[in-house]
Amino acid sequence: MEQMEMICFNLISSVGMAKSSYVEAMREAAKGAFDEAAAKMKEGDAFYAKGHDSHSDLIAQEANGEAVAFSLLLMHAEDQMMSTETIRLMAEENIKLYQRLTEMEGK
Amino acid sequence: MEQMEMICFNLISSVGMAKSSYVEAMREAAKGAFDEAAAKMKEGDAFYAKGHDSHSDLIAQEANGEAVAFSLLLMHAEDQMMSTETIRLMAEENIKLYQRLTEMEGK
Amino acid sequence: MEQMEMICFNLISSVGMAKSSYVEAMREAAKGAFDEAAAKMKEGDAFYAKGHDSHSDLIAQEANGEAVAFSLLLMHAEDQMMSTETIRLMAEENIKLYQRLTEMEGK
């Protein structure tokens, strides 16, 4: 496997794991398990950071004047990264909504 | 129109319809119409599956060593697919929140 | 800096500002400040429109038969635009949920 493919697969795998963690965080929050939700968000961030390193390597390569060749795989990897970032942001908001709901249900 | 453009337009149209269905599903849930919301999610999934087929054809082409040429149109098509996937995921969570809210309002 | 890079940076900066406004809109709604939330959504739309103009220029260029060269920067710019669109959509739904919650809390 070429180095570029390797980077893309690493990126896809890391941000995919991060995405799963963020989704699980929302599911924990739905159960009222807010500590578990916070732990899942943190777990997701650790996976995401790994993926983001691969992405940064590519950005640095291009910035150094070494063109990064296009491939569908690369596009897919970058798309996965961005969608994971969006899901992280929305998961955070979701958890807050569950906190409010849970507080209200307690009253 | 070239075959590649055709694939992209099919992809954009299918996932665009799917996205609309998912958004409508949330709006149904907001009205407390949870059966309609579920039906809209299912409708969206059928549209999405069609779009995903076009995407899989391209992935297969590239995996077979036949490079897929870059175009903005292709990038846009792939972006639309990914964002629809994200909206599907968040719509599901949204509907659950509306279910909780509706239960509470009933008490 | 080349013209293409300029367009990408404009796009990234405009949609980035729009994204921040949409996130702030959700935070205002969480505080029950719905007028402020609506103002932030409007502010975001103004930023977004600027970014979208850059994007439309590129689309027009390609549609006129002048190929748009691939770069990671361009891919990143387009991804940012799409994710901002997704966040806008979900922010709108989020604000509605906060409105319902706030109404219920008042009862």
Q: Which of A75, A92, A107 to mutate to test the interface with B (most CBs of B within 10 A)?
A: A75
Give residue C98's pLDDT band: very low, low, confident or very high (50, 70, 90). very high
A33: tokens are 């398990």
**In angstroms, what CA-CA distances link A81 with A20, A23, A35, A47?**
12, 15, 25, 11
- DSSP helix/strand/coil, C48: helix
- DSSP helix/strand/coil, B9: helix
How many other β-carbons are positioned within 10 Å of the β-carbon of residue B39? 15
Euclidean distance between CA atoms B27 and B12, whole angstroms: 23
DSSP state of B69: P
**Tens digits of per-residue pLDDT, A23-63?**
999 999 999 999 999 999 999 999 999 999 888 888 888 88
Tell if the CB–CB gap between A30 and B86 is shorter than 8 Å: no
**Tens digits of per-residue pLDDT, C31-89?**
999 999 999 999 999 999 999 888 888 888 888 888 888 999 999 999 999 999 999 99
Segments in chain B below pLDDT 50: none
- DSSP helix/strand/coil, A66: coil
| Chain B CB within 8 Å of residue A59 CB | no
CA C94 to chain centre: 15
B12 neighbors B78 (Cβ within 8 angstroms): no
Catalytic residues of A: 76
Euclidean distance between CA atoms C46 and C22, whole angstroms: 11
Q: Which residues of A touch C101 (CB under 8 A)?
A: 97, 100-101, 104
| ipTM of the prediction | 0.89
Q: What is the DSSP string of B10-60?
A: HHHHHHHHHHHHHHHHHHHHHTT-HHHHHHHHHHHHHHHHHHHHHHHHHHH
Helix pair angle (C34-63, C3-30), 10° resolution: 160
Q: Which of A74, A89, A98, A103 to mutate to test the interface with C (most CBs of C within 10 A)?
A: A89
Residue C52 is among the residues annotated as catalytic for this protein: no
Q: Please, which residues 5-44 of chain B have a Cβ atom closer than 8 Å to chain A? A: none
